[in-house]
Amino acid sequence: MSRLAPAPDALIGKRFDVAVSKMLGISRAKSAELIETNQVRGLNREMAKSSTLMEGDIVEFDIVEERKEPEPLAEDMAVVYEDDDVIVVDKPVGVAAHASVGWTGPTVLGSLLQRGVHITSLGAAGRQGIVSRLDVGTSGLMLVCKSDLAYKEMRRQFAEHEVVKTYHALVQGNLKEDKATIEAPIGRAKVSDFRFTVTPTGKEAITHWDVLERFGEATLVKVNLETGRTHQIRVHFSSIGHPLVGDPMYGANPVMAKELGLERQWLHAMQLEFRHPRTHVWTTVKSRYPADLQHALDSLEAKHATPPVNSLG
């Protein structure tokens, strides 16, 4: 079953494949595939993936549904905070924020709807209520809006960087400073549609970090984001020679990850601070490390513990 959508004002002048990727929340490579197989096309004129989206264009989506079975439920996704306006979940690793073409695993939005949670209808189709996302491979706190009022206000707060997002990350090596800021623009890497990199042509990205604990071969840090670019923490620490432990996509040592029992990057969204959209009360929500990340830390601490001094009495 096909559906039509007018060209969004914000995407006028963009390449067709770039615009489609933004509209659907999918990779540029996947959007190009959909265009080439005629599952996404221009209604009023013929458009190739390199065509420029113009004012007045109508985009027709006739995407073949890939999912044959109902979306699996993220049963271990805990609710940390909930009221009539917002719900904050502790997203496990392996759960996507929302459905996308090709993804067959559980999603935050799908699992909340299956549990009977009312979510606002505001937002892009399939992404309603979502104002900020976490990667599939990153665990931690994620806020979803239940009311229309909350969606409008929280979208504004996230866009204007008023929400304080605190992450903990374990990075390779011994950071020289105790605290610092990484300010480097991030854009899509030319070598891969799924990777990002520091590039002069990228979007502004600012990451603040403080050391929490040192292990010599790795450093545990607290991270606050001033901007919210895709893979920002992973890209920024890789750019200074300290990729996240367990993140081979951005240069981490797979041997260390194996020794610590890690199958994903050591990164967790630990705390969210925001002004409640209705009451305007400053609200703080906290999380704890999941089992795999805690195990990796315990392994490092045991490895670097100071042995007791032998006493002959």
Catalytic residues: 135
**Residue 231 · residue 223 · CB < 8 Å:** no
CA–CA separation, 179 and 103 (whole Å): 37
Task: Pick the closest to residue 6 from 70, 57, 71, 51 (CA basis).
Answer: 57
Helix (H) or strand (E) holding 260: none
In the chain, % helix, strand, coil (3-state, to 5) comes to: 20, 30, 50
Question: Structure tokens of 19?
Answer: 């615009």
* Cβ-Cβ contacts under 8 Å for 145 (sequence gap 6 or more): 85, 86, 119, 120, 122, 129, 130, 131, 151, 154, 155, 277
Helix (H) or strand (E) holding 301: helix 291-303
